[in-house]
Chains A and B, each alone.
Chain A
């Protein structure tokens, strides 16, 4: 009991020391803290530790079993990699927020009760937003605010679910919830917000590309995977999740296709990859749950690597769009090589980490004879390879030369990427390392003849498709005549369809979300005035004028009122009004009391 400390607490408490250290000592400390946490993990004993009585309940900070340990390992490893990658950052606040964020994710993983889970859940949301805001521009501030609004909403739903559950069952214990009932649906909703399940996904693709270069690496690892963990524990075998997950996998890829910003593409790819995990959770078999854990593990490593690679490009080239990048392979060969390790891992190429984990989930869908799910997941797989391993590197590192004088990023960034790449290959070559820490015993063999052949077929023919059509993968500044001719003559109707309803439908969730957020901000400037504006507009519409005023003057008045919004918020009511109110209330109370008795 005494010989280990909940790892989340180590990171969070340790973060408070950062401001007191300087220079080299600080950098050493930043790396040492995850290492200490990792060592701490080895001392954790299975079972329930660190139960703290609180308001008549037990808060459990150390619920340890194989599942939480697997997530614990990868979270700490990622905290180390992310911190190594961010070592050159001078601002203490960024490191502080990162540790708080990673520490609270660890806290969630080892929570044995809903209350402490909720506490860490909220810390995670509130510290994550700082990783976005430290970009210090308008786009990131707005995106961060929207991120926060969504997470506060999700947190409230979660809290409501927890409280209802507490009242109904009298227990705060965190365990399986897949039985239905209002409480479990509210909790599910809260979890799904963090897992970025469409249509609740918009915060992710909105916010991650605006985060700081180093912050995005942390963000890509923890929030969604923490959600996967809690869903895995609470809702495994909840069948609807299979379909959510499969749809999500394709949805993420389809949206990623539309992106021009490299990190936004990767952000949509997170949604796609988390889709695999959600589907696996829904299947609920031992193989699929092992697969989900394994895929979460490898996904953190390779997606972190991809975000680091993209970050390195943005860091040195200063550009983040395909249309502005290209030809960087000459000056950034190391970055390219390391990025490709991540890209091949996410594409599930044999001997890279994604292969040994993703195939578990896909195979599980085959075992369950879920043919449509298999087709959707495989389609997403091909699309992922196309996007992340072919399109992104092709247009960033090869393609037309953009003439940007980029160089390799700082050593610490390269080291972090190198370490992540090493782990990805290690797991791909020796899957036993990963399989040994999965929650259930594994009798799955990834490297069988037919499996390798089929995977290679998909990959190679996807590549074939790419090379045949790669010229059509990028919008050129000038459209060549023949293509123009086809679109103009051949399928004007098709183009209209794509242009208007289809693209509108594709952008609809995002647009609605942005509109709501903007409206709330507008309303927040002066809610009372806004309400009175609405009321007076309604009166004007009904009567055509304000009572006792000619129509023209009324219209002018209304127009000015809208123009002057938000105006002066201080509204003083004369004291006489209050006195009359007192008398009215007094009379109403007395009469009401009398009537009732």
Chain B
């Protein structure tokens, strides 16, 4: 995964990307508003983030179950 320093650079680039993506949304011209949240800047970022958290929680819970099951069958 490269050296520690590279990793740090990558990390900051990633954070910069996050910020830019949200900021750009404020400046973006919208051609038409089709869904209510199309006008809300950063909605997609929020939605993407919380979808992920939700899915991971489901996975974690399920993973816990699966692990127990593996024990169960052993």
Measured CB to CB, the residues of A under 8 A from B are 253-254, 257-258, 260, 366-367, 369, 371, 374-375, 378-379, 382-383, 386, 398, 448-450, 453-467, 469, 472-475, 479, 487, 494-495, 498-499, 503, 506
Contact = CB atoms under 8 A, between A and B. Distances in A.
Interface string B16-31: 0110011011001111
B52 to A, nearest CB: 3
Task: Determine chain B's interface SS by DSSP, over half rule.
Answer: helix
Contacts of B14: 460, 463-464, 467
Contacts of B59: 257-258, 473
The 7 closest A-B pairs by CB, nearest first: A465-B52, A458-B48, A461-B49, A457-B45, A461-B48, A382-B51, A475-B63
A258 B44 CA distance: 25
14 contacts: A257-B59, A369-B35, A379-B47, A450-B25, A453-B24, A453-B28, A454-B25, A457-B22, A458-B44, A458-B48, A460-B14, A460-B45, A465-B49, A472-B60
B29 A398 contact: no
Contacts of A462: 48-49, 51-52
A254 B67 CA distance: 18
Contacts of A371: 35-36
Given A453-B24, A487-B64, A473 B56 contact: yes
Contacts of B22: 457
B56 A472 contact: yes
Interface residues of B, number: 39
A348 to B, nearest CB: 12
A454 B44 contact: yes
B6 to A, nearest CB: 15
B31 A450 contact: yes
B56 A460 contact: no
B49 A464 contact: yes
Contacts of B47: 375, 378-379, 382, 458
Given A458-B47, A464-B49, A469 B56 contact: yes
A479 B66 contact: no
Contacts of A383: 51-52, 55
Contacts of B52: 382-383, 386, 461-462, 464-466, 469
Given A367-B34, A498-B62, 12 more contacts: A254-B55, A254-B58, A369-B34, A382-B48, A383-B52, A450-B25, A457-B45, A460-B17, A461-B46, A469-B53, A473-B63, A475-B66
A456 B55 CA distance: 19
B58 A257 contact: yes
A382 B55 contact: yes
Contacts of A469: 52-53, 56
Contacts of A495: 61, 64
B66 A258 contact: yes
Given A371-B36, A457-B21, A460-B21, A479 B67 contact: yes
B65 A503 contact: yes
Given A374-B35, A398-B1, A450-B28, A457 B65 contact: no
A258 B55 CA distance: 10
Contacts of A454: 25, 44
A498 B67 contact: no
Instruction: Tell me which of A253, A449, A495 has the highest count of chain B C-beta atoms within 10 A of its own C-beta.
Output: A449
B68 interface: yes
Nearest to A383: B55
A371 B36 CA distance: 8
A366 B47 CA distance: 16
A491 B28 CA distance: 44
Contact of A457 (B1, B44, B66): B44
Instruction: Tell me which of A448, A469, A475, A479 has the highest count of chain B C-beta atoms within 10 A of its own C-beta.
Output: A475
A465 B29 CA distance: 28
A461 B62 contact: no
A379 B50 CA distance: 9
A457 B22 CA distance: 7
A506 B59 CA distance: 13
Given A457-B22, A460-B18, A474 B44 contact: no
B19 to A, nearest CB: 10
Contacts of A472: 56, 60
Contacts of A448: 31
A456 B49 contact: no
Contacts of B67: 475, 479
B64 A503 contact: no
Contact of B51 (A379, A398, A453, A494): A379
Nearest to A463: B14
Given A383-B51, A453-B28, A458-B47, A464 B65 contact: no
A246 to B, nearest CB: 14
A326 to B, nearest CB: 13
A543 to B, nearest CB: 41
A240 to B, nearest CB: 22
A209 to B, nearest CB: 16
B49 A449 contact: no
Given A382-B55, A475-B63, A479-B67, A457 B48 contact: yes
A505 to B, nearest CB: 12
Nearest to A398: B1
A448 B38 CA distance: 14
B39 to A, nearest CB: 11
B28 to A, nearest CB: 5
Contacts of A449: 28-29
Instruction: Tell me which of A260, A369, A456 has the highest count of chain B C-beta atoms within 10 A of its own C-beta.
Output: A456
A457 B62 contact: no
Nearest to B49: A461
Instruction: Tell me which of A455, A459, A464 has the highest count of chain B C-beta atoms within 10 A of its own C-beta.
Output: A464
A459 B28 CA distance: 18
A461 B64 contact: no
Nearest to B52: A465
A507 to B, nearest CB: 10
